[in-house]
């Protein structure tokens, strides 16, 4: 797998995670929605990217 495939996996993970977070977010929380969405986006992208990168094809 090339770097493009890992990046696509990271982006897919990012989109799914941010969409779910924004959908289920409630008003009145102590953190703003943009802060939470940004932190989820960074975490999800890195998780998807490195999971794909370190996955072994046995």
Where is 47: in which H helix or E strand? helix 33-54
**Six token digits for residue 8:** 């696509």
Question: Backbone dihedral region of 28: left (phi > 0), alpha (psi from -120 to 50 degrees) or beta?
Answer: left
Closest CA to 41 of 23, 20, 15: 15
The pLDDT of residue 1: 58
49, burial (CB in 10 Å: exposed 0-12, middle 13-18, buried 19+):
buried
pTM (2 d.p.): 0.76
Tens of pLDDT, residue by residue over 2-47, are: 888 888 888 999 999 999 988 888 777 688 888 888 999 999 999 9
């Amino acid at each position: 797998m090339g770097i493009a495939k890992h990046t696509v996996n990271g982006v897919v993970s990012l989109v799914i995670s941010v969409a779910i977070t924004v959908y289920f977010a409630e008003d009145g929380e102590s953190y703003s929605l943009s802060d939470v969405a940004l932190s989820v986006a960074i975490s999800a992208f890195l998780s998807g990217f490195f999971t794909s990168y370190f996955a072994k094809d046995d």
